[in-house]
Amino acid sequence: MPSAPCPTPKIMISLQNIEKVYRTSTIETLALNNINLDIKKGEFVSIMGPSGCGKSTLLNVMGLLDEPSSGTVQLDGQPVMKYTDKELAKLRNQKIGFIFQSFHLINDLTVLDNVEIPLLYRSTNGKPRQEYAKEALAKVGLSNRMKHFPKQLSGGQKQRVAIARAIVGNPDIILADEPTGNLDSAMGNEIMTILQDLNKEGATIVMVTHDEQMAKRTHRLIRLFDGTQVL
Ligand SMILES: Nc1ncnc2c1ncn2[C@@H]1O[C@H](COP(=O)(O)OP(=O)(O)OP(=O)(O)O)[C@@H](O)[C@H]1O
Ligand SMILES: [Mg+2]
């Protein structure tokens, strides 16, 4: 029997003619210059390039944290340019998990409370909220640190808490800005393995990195130079 043709993979993130200009009173910076990029559902893509070339700006535009000066963004087929701020915040909360180089945990909250935060915005009730947060922490191997505070954790553990917080709401997309940048290579490798596992489970991941070895473990590498895609 002939095998069925492979269905065309869905595009999860689509950027068309994206420009981002930052203006201050003295200087104008073209941070992104005519970026056209499609990221398929289930892809794991890395972004590399020199400091200041626009990597974080690109990730923030994909993640609806920053509005492009021109061009269009579509997430899972939804034309987000037409959305109000409130609609954008809702979509971001439901579809996207962010991971940052410097973890961005809240120091006064326990590990468990930190991981619950995205669910607070969704008004998930207390009991299921805690259960989901515990599940996310189990996934990153931190069930034994739930009552700790961030300052009682190592860098790698903090980043695993940040990953648990990013995945607690089951987002389709994970955006990671140098997630291993502040970690030694053993911890960096551990974080990378967790991201690869999440990708195998179906998450679409875009990761900024300065590390060629980390980039090699992803499906595709995008290189930026002065706001322009060069690969
Ligand atoms: N809020 C802002 N206001 C003005 N200029 C900005 C702003 N954010 C970024 N820029 C400028 O835009 C350019 C791209 O910055 P971006 O943070 O995206 O770089 P990056 O590639 O992530 O660098 P790094 O590797 O150092 O994190 C830089 O020249 C930066 O100075
Ligand atoms: Mg950056």
User: pLDDT (tens digit, 9 = 90+) per residue, 161-191?
Assistant: 999 999 999 999 999 999 999 989 999 999 9
Residue-averaged pLDDT of the chain: 94
Q: What pLDDT does residue 231 have?
A: 79
pLDDT tens for 98-137 read 999 999 999 999 999 999 999 998 888 889 999 999 999 9
Residue among 20, 48, 56, 65 whose CB has most ligand 1 atoms within 8 A, to mutate: 56
Residue among 24, 48, 57 whose CB has most ligand 1 atoms within 8 A, to mutate: 57
pLDDT tens for 10-46 read 999 999 999 999 999 999 999 999 999 999 999 999 9
Q: What pLDDT does residue 60 have?
A: 96
- Ligand (nearest to CA of 48): 1
Identify the residues whose C-beta falls under 6 Å from ligand 1.
22, 24, 29, 31, 49, 51-57
| Domains along the sequence of the chain with CATH | 11-229 (3.40.50.300)
Ligand 1 atom closest to the Cα of residue 54 is 18
pLDDT tens for 21-30 read 999 999 999 9
Ligand 1 atom closest to the Cα of residue 24 is 4
| pTM (2 d.p.) | 0.94
Q: If you write DSSP's letter for every residue of the chain in order, what string do you get?
A: -PPPPPPPPPEEEEEEEEEEEEE-SS-EEEEEEEEEEEEETT-EEEEE--TTSSHHHHHHHHTTSS--SEEEEEETTEEGGG--HHHHHHHHHHHEEEEETT----TTS-HHHHHHHHHHHTT--HHHHHHHHHHHHHHTT-GGGTT--GGGS-HHHHHHHHHHHHHTT--SEEEEESTTTTS-HHHHHHHHHHHHHHHHTT-EEEEE-S-HHHHHTSSEEEEEETTEE--
For range 86-109, the mean pLDDT: 95
Percent of the chain clearing pLDDT 70 (strictly above): 97
Percent of the chain clearing pLDDT 90 (strictly above): 90
